[in-house]
Amino acid sequence: MKIAFFSAQPYDEQFFNRFNDSYGFELAFHEEQLDEENAALATGADAVCVFVNDTVDANVCKRLKTGNVKIVALRCAGFNNVDLEAAKANGLQVCRVPAYSPEAVAEHALALIMTLNRKTHKAYNRVREQNFLLNGLLGFNIHGKTVGVIGTGNIGKSFCRIMTGLGCKVRAFDLIANKDMEAIGVEYLPLVDVLQSDIISLHCPLNEQTRHLINEQTIALVKKGAMLINTGRGGLIDTKAVIAGLSSGQIGYLGIDVYEQEEHLFFRDLSSNIIRDDEIQRLMSFPNVLVTAHQAFFTGEAMEQIASVTLNSIHQLLKSGNLNNRAALLV
Ligand code: NAI
């Protein structure tokens, strides 16, 4: 049984090879992103294993079917890059890793907050240059601040626990209020109220309802000078609107691990290239913006979970056409 990996990095090979010992699949690692053109690389594979910026649209699904592929296994939680109807129509089963390590992502959101606030990235460079001045490094206490969480699923809940632990007043917006969160003091409020927080963190999936959730209108509702954190998906934020919000001072800090056009940039070394994306260049020019390149998931614990759950799902699907873990099966 063969699995073709797309967007494969050395760490994917390392973790998947380690966990494949008990399955014995033939693993083919391709650096290329999955798209219509590269779908031919999957010919002869029973399953493809894809990541956040691979495209699994209707045309790709058709090509995968032609190549006799039966399973699309996402080695991530979000599945906004997959056309589930087209997958179904082409006889493809689609699975994901629903909750590999929510703490990894929640802790990275905290890292973005702490770095933006206390400017440790600037202090590190400053001290290495023997500049021991504090001017420009003034932060604020996180304790006592209001934190607005949009989406309280696996990651959002972990983030709420961290922020309540730090002594914040946590408010949340979700389609469904979670009783465990209410029990630790999280208050569910309408979006307009949650936007009035000192720190806003996005943890909902990207779909038709949430695309550009942060746009010109919602930015106008934000508390002036608030910190906005996005470890969800780039499309949750309208980049042009957020640049305008940063320019006017309406948004005081922006920490993003995901970016609308990231598929052209992230997971590559472009240090010798001319980047023609003026929006990311503009964002990176703000002193109060911190960009990381989709690394929130990237801990050893999360990679172990991703590899073991993905291989187990493919094994189960090939054997019985079903999964014990219902949340992992999308189609
Ligand atoms: P989850 O499915 O456990 O939780 C999502 C929550 O969002 C649910 O409670 C759901 O009710 C809520 N939601 C859905 N639509 C909403 C809306 N319109 N408004 C408000 N809330 C809404 O997902 P999980 O595991 O917590 O992940 C959340 C997202 O984080 C994923 O969809 C993925 O895009 C992103 N992610 C990013 C990673 C990174 O490395 N930066 C890694 C893993 C996930």
**Which residues of the chain register pLDDT less than 70?**
none
Cα–Cα distances (Å) from 213 to 75, 78, 157, in that order, read: 25, 17, 20
Residue 220's nearest CA partner among 235, 242, 200, 199 is 242
| pTM (predicted TM-score) | 0.96
pLDDT at res. 4 = 98
Question: Which atom of ligand 1 approaches the CA of 295 most closely?
Answer: 40
Was domain 2-100+300-328 assigned CATH 3.30.70.141? no
pLDDT at res. 292 = 98
The per-residue pLDDT for range 169-179, each reduced to its tens digit, is 999 999 999 99
Residue 214's nearest CA partner among 198, 199, 234 is 234
Asked if the domains 2-100+300-328 and 102-291 are classified in one and the same CATH topology, the answer is: yes
pLDDT at res. 80 = 96
Q: Are 182 and 160 in contact (CB under 8 A)?
A: no
CA dist 16 and 269 (Å) reads 23
Cα–Cα distances (Å) from 66 to 4, 31, 49, 69, 72, in that order, read: 15, 22, 17, 8, 14
Q: What pairing do the DSSP bridges indicate for beta strands 187-188 and 169-173?
A: parallel
Give the CATH number of domain 102-291. 3.40.50.720
CA dist 282 and 270 (Å) reads 17
pLDDT at res. 300 = 98
pLDDT at res. 219 = 98
Q: Where are the domains of the chain?
A: 2-100+300-328, 102-291
Ligand 1 residue neighbourhood (C-beta within 6 Å): 77-78, 99, 102, 105, 150-156, 173-176, 203-206, 209-210, 231-233, 257-258, 294, 296-297
